[in-house]
Amino acid sequence: MPLENCNLEETKPVIIMRNPYDQMISFYTNHTNEISDQNFNIQLFDRTHKNYLKYFNFWKKYFYNKISKKDYILIKHEELVSYSEEKLKEILIFYDYEIDDHLIKKSAQINSKENTLKYIENVKIKKIRFTDPKKKEIHKNKILEKLSELYKNNELIDEYNNLK
């Protein structure tokens, strides 16, 4: 269901945000067939940047009149990856669910990147949700260069780091 069909005033969303630069690097990498940064696609970069800003600004506006951990909960992607069990527990507490540490631990293990990749290694699929690290590295420097031109003082990263 498209978000515009939902009334956010009647929900308590869990919002997952990722470091803007990491998000844009992954998006760009997943949407290009280029295996070299020599043919940098500026239109794709612009679309990548615009999409992230739309997402980021939508939630930033939503946070304005809301109370964190009462009306919504913000989980940073990096924290979800590094502290999966703690973040799953935080989400369950937010929704007043019963806590079972054993099930939380098991869920974190089952849904880890390593386990998912192991589970699908013999499955033939065109695309997985994880960015190819080698391909990502190829595009990373060019994208960071473009982002540093746009954000000379890291304003976007600072805004992201200050979200609560």
Express each pLDDT in 66-121 by its tens digit: 999 999 999 999 999 999 999 999 999 999 999 999 999 998 888 887 877 776 66
Which has the closest alpha carbon to 161: 18, 47, 33? 18
Secondary structure (3-state) at 16: strand
Per-domain residue ranges for the chain?
3-33+40-162
- At 9 the pLDDT is 78
Is 90 exceeded by the pLDDT of residue 129?
no
Amino acid symbol at 63: F
- At 45 the pLDDT is 93
Residue 74 is given by DSSP the state: E
The CATH number corresponding to 3-33+40-162 among 3.20.20.140, 3.90.1170.50, 3.40.50.300, 3.40.50.880 equals 3.40.50.300
What's the burial of 125, exposed, middle or buried (CB within 10 Å: 0-12/13-18/19+)?
exposed
CA distance 130 to 90: 24
Q: Angle at which helices 42-63 and 133-150 pack, to 10 degrees? A: 70
